Amino acid sequence: MLELIDRDCAGRICKWKIDKYEIKTPNICIVVNPNNQIISPRELKKFGAEIIITNAYIINRNNETKEQVLKHGIHKFLKWNGPIYTDSGSFQMFSQGIKDINQEEIINFQQKIGSNIITPVDMFTLPEDSKTIAEKKLLETNNRINSARKIVNNSLLSGPIQGGIYLDLRKKACKDLTKIKPDLFALGGIVPLMNNYRFK
Active-site annotation holds for 87? yes
Least Cα distance to 185 among 153, 152, 148, 145 occurs for: 145
- φ, ψ for residue 167, nearest 5 deg: -65, -30
Distances, alpha carbon 114 to alpha carbons 15, 61, 70, 166, in Å: 22, 17, 9, 35
Distances, alpha carbon 89 to alpha carbons 60, 64, 93, 120, in Å: 10, 18, 6, 9
8, 87, 168, 176: the catalytic one is: 87
Q: What is the total residue count of the chain?
A: 200
SS3 of residue 40 by DSSP: coil
Scanning the chain, the segments in alpha helix (DSSP H) are 41-46, 56-61, 63-72, 74-78, 90-96, 103-112, 131-151, 167-180, 191-195
Measured CA to CA, the distance from residue 109 to residue 95 in angstroms comes to 22
Distances, alpha carbon 184 to alpha carbons 8, 67, 158, 181, 193, in Å: 22, 29, 5, 8, 22
Catalytic residue IDs: 87
